[in-house]
């Protein structure tokens, strides 16, 4: 099958491209390399059946050309991260909405299947756990930039469902805290690489707030498995939670990483205002209901947090510099 992956040089995207090539597909990677890295796509396996196109999903002519050459597009290109949400709200809104609209419009012209990568952020601060795909979205006021990423991704999903109603085969996958090798510790403020980097350097591991907030961390192999399974026609027109359903508090995660590294790093609590500025609001807990993903996609996470962290730490030991 001929497949295009937007954002394919990034953390999740490069692992997805790798899996698709291993399955024998022809893959074209579209990435503007603003955050993606060519080095992730330079192993021997990328020399066959793979093409890297440096460009943007804002380039409609380029997108239309790529759609002429594929059967499926995985749309992962996005601007994300809590830090960017607070500091660059306009870029978050414009880049996510404009790019997704272009991908869907061009895919609709060619009747190309779309798998859109969304996020658990869209559930906002809903405290009714676990989150089902039909759960309500609970967000703060529009004057707080914290909520712009969740809003932009939700509008992207509305576009996906609108095109599905018009006959486009489209599936949405909502990621829950993916982590693993190749994830940046600096670009988006992601917690796992940030903690691992600090632990390896024996520097303080900074926990924002009290650290009582809990998340379900999903090793990249499981994230990719759920994403690939969304290619099936039975997934068309639906959204799926893709993640682990085993929660851990951020404070406990910091201790677990420090122990796993064998680090002498102290665990330090940093107020949210100092980390993100005044008015920042975090969610106390996030956990997915995986019933739909299991029953329709056959999805189930297989990598434990302990095992996934060991594999991730090993990668960072080799690549930290």
- At 218 the pLDDT is 98
Residue 81: the pLDDT is: 58
How far lies 49's CA from each of 21, 115, 228, in Å? 7, 20, 17
Q: Which of 318, 321, 184, 317 is nearest to 263 (CA)?
A: 317
DSSP string, 67-128: HTT-SEEEE------HHHHHH-HHHHHHHHHHHHHHHHHHHHHHT-EEEEEEEGGGGBT--S
pLDDT computed for residue 167 by the predictor: 98
CB 187 within 8 A of CB 223: no
Q: Tens place of pLDDT for every residue, the chain, 321 residues?
A: 999 999 999 999 999 999 999 999 999 999 999 889 999 998 777 778 999 999 999 999 999 999 998 999 999 998 765 666 666 677 778 888 999 999 999 999 999 999 999 999 999 999 999 999 999 999 999 988 888 889 999 999 999 999 999 999 999 999 999 999 999 865 556 899 999 999 999 999 999 999 999 999 999 999 999 999 999 999 999 999 999 999 999 999 999 999 999 999 999 999 988 888 777 788 899 999 999 999 999 999 999 999 999 999 999 999 886
Strands 248-249 and 214-215: antiparallel
Residue 283 lies in a domain: no
Residue 204 lies in a domain: no
The rounded distance, in Å, linking the Cα atoms of 190 and 281 is: 16
Q: Which domain holds residue 41?
A: 2-176+219-244+288-302
Total tally of structural domains belonging to the chain: 1
Catalytic residue among 149, 276, 299, 316: 149
How confident is the model at residue 287, as a pLDDT? 98
pLDDT at 82: 61
For residue 187, the model assigns a pLDDT of 54
Is 149 among the residues known to form the active site? yes
Spatial contact of 207 and 250, defined as CB atoms under 8 Å apart? yes
* pLDDT at res. 296: 98
Whole-prediction pTM: 0.95
Give pLDDT, residue 80. 63
In a domain, 34, yes or no: yes
* CA atoms of 214 and 64, how far apart (whole Å): 42
Q: Which CATH number is 34's domain given?
A: 3.40.50.720
Report which of 209, 216, 228, 225 is spatially closest to residue 269, judged by C-alpha positions: 209
């Amino acid at each position: 099958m001929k497949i295009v992956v937007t954002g394919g040089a990034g953390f999740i995207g490069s692992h997805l491209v790798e899996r698709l090539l291993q399955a024998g597909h022809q893959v074209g990677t579209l990435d503007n390399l603003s955050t993606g890295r060519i080095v992730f796509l330079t192993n021997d396996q990328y020399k066959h059946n793979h093409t890297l196109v440096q460009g943007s999903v804002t380039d409609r002519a380029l997108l239309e050309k790529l759609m002429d050459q594929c059967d499926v597009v995985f749309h992962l290109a996005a601007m994300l991260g809590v830090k960017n949400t607070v500091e660059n709200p306009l870029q978050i809104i414009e880049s996510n909405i404009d790019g997704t609209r272009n991908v869907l419009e061009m895919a609709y012209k060619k009747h190309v299947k779309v798998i859109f990568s969304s996020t658990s952020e869209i559930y906002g601060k809903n405290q009714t756990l676990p989150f089902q795909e039909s759960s309500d979205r609970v967000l703060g006021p529009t004057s707080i930039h914290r909520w712009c990423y969740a809003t932009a991704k939700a509008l992207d999903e509305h576009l996906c469902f609108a095109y599905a109603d018009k006959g486009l085969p489209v599936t949405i996958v909502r990621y829950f805290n993916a982590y693993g090798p190749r994830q940046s510790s600096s670009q988006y403020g992601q917690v796992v690489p940030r903690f691992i980097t600090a632990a390896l350097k024996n520097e303080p591991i900074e926990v924002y707030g009290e650290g009582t907030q809990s998340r379900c961390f999903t090793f990249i192999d499981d994230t990719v498995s759920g994403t690939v399974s969304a290619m099936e026609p039975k997934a068309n027109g639906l959204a799926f939670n893709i993640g682990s359903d085993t929660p851990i508090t951020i404070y406990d995660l910091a201790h677990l990483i420090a122990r796993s590294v064998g680090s002498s790093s102290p665990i330090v609590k940093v107020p949210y205002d100092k980390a993100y500025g005044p008015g920042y609001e975090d969610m106390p807990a996030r956990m997915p209901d995986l019933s739909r993903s299991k029953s329709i996609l056959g999805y189930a996470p297989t990598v434990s947090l302990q095992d996934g962290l060991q594999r991730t730490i090993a990668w960072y030991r080799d690549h930290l510099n």
